[in-house]
């Protein structure tokens, strides 16, 4: 549902909600939300100084509600979870979103009429998980990771992980889709450079858009959607 006027966030309620969930005030800042154009994705980063505790599922849902109601100009919606746990708000008629949290950072991506997925991680979080590549990634990905210097392998693993998870979250099935059913090409430095292939039910690899970003120092993130290019606008909340 497109708002007739630029959407605004009820800051007082967002602050109250934030305090209820143990956060400090001013999570979304004190300005009107910028208008969300049809070809735009707003990528909100909430955290670092603003979130003093790791967002809990209930807390991130409350913050998500405040943000969505700011865009939609209404509180009359329910955030539902589909069979795989992806949150959706059908009553908002085309307002699409996804979120990811890691430690004290939460990102929420919002757009119109375009399913999307976002994932953030810290290299530290998965540093002991690099061996998982052998088991869960494709053979080519595991080989590319194994060829890297140990010093860069963990970071490359996490970058690749965020790309995969963002796509799986855009599809909506999450990890149950199968991490090896999409394959990325890595360059010699371990940078993810291309979605090489994906299981047919998720469309053509060339139709997928991947937007990598650094939510804040020490974190990596990826935003994914299947469709035409969109402008990604980064909107850091007050830290």
Nearer to ligand COA, 21 or 173 (CB): 173
Nearer to ligand COA, 100 or 111 (CB): 100
- Minimum CB distance to ligand COA smaller for 113 or for 187: 113
Q: Are 223 and 117 in contact (CB under 8 A)?
A: yes
Sign (positive or negative) of CA dihedral 111, 117, 158, 218: positive
Residue nearest to ligand COA (CB): 174
- Smallest distance from the beta carbon of 149 to ligand COA, in angstroms? 26
If you search the block for the tokens 């970071």, which residue do you land on? Answer: 155
**Least CB distance to ligand COA at residue 165 (A):** 5
H or E stretch at 105? strand 105-112
Comparison of 118 and 147: residue with beta carbon closer to ligand COA: 118
Query: How would you write 13-26 as a 3-class SS string?
Result: HHHHHHHHCCCCCC
Question: Can you give the binding site for ligand COA, defined by CB under 6 A?
Answer: 57, 60-61, 84-87, 98-101, 117, 119, 165, 169, 172-176
- Residue 91 burial by CB count (10 A; 0-12/13-18/19+): exposed, middle or buried? middle
Identify any residues that bridge with 222 across adjacent strands, giving them in sequence order.
Answer: 119, 212
Rounded Cα–Cα distance for residues 108 and 120 (Å):
10
Q: How far is the CB of 4 from ligand COA (least distance, A)?
A: 28
Name the minimum Å distance from CB 188 to ligand COA: 28
Which residues, 6+ apart, have CB-to-CB distance to 154 below 8 Å?
Answer: 123, 126, 127, 130
CB of 82 vs ligand COA, minimal distance in Å? 7
Looking at beta carbons only, is 8 or 122 nearer to ligand COA? 122
Q: Three-state DSSP class for 120?
A: strand
| H or E element that contains 212 | strand 208-213
128/149 with CB nearer ligand COA: 128
Q: Report in angstroms how near the CB of residue 107 gets to ligand COA at its nearest.
A: 9
């Amino acid at each position: 549902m497109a708002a007739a006027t630029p959407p605004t966030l009820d800051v007082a309620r967002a602050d109250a909600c934030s305090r209820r969930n143990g956060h400090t005030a001013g999570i979304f800042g004190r300005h009107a939300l910028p208008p969300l154009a049809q070809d735009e994705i707003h990528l909100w980063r909430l955290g670092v100084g603003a979130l003093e505790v790791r967002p809990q599922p209930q807390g991130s849902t409350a913050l998500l509600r405040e943000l969505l109601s700011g865009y939609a100009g209404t509180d009359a919606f329910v955030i539902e979870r589909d069979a795989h746990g992806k949150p959706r708000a059908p009553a908002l008629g085309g307002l699409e979103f996804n979120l990811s949290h890691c430690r004290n950072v939460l990102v929420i991506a919002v757009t119109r009429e375009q399913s999307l997925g976002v994932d953030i991680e810290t290299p530290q979080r998965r540093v002991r998980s690099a061996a998982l590549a052998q088991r869960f990634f494709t053979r080519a990905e595991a080989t590319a990771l194994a060829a890297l210097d140990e010093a860069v392998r963990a970071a490359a693993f996490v970058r690749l992980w965020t790309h995969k998870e963002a796509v799986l979250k855009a599809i909506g099935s999450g990890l149950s889709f199968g991490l090896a059913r999409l394959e990325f090409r890595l360059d010699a430095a371990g940078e993810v450079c291309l979605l090489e292939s994906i299981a047919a039910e998720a469309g053509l690899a060339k139709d997928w858009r991947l937007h990598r970003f650094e939510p804040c120092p020490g974190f990596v993130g990826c935003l994914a959607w299947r469709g035409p290019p969109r402008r990604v606008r980064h909107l850091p909340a007050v830290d």
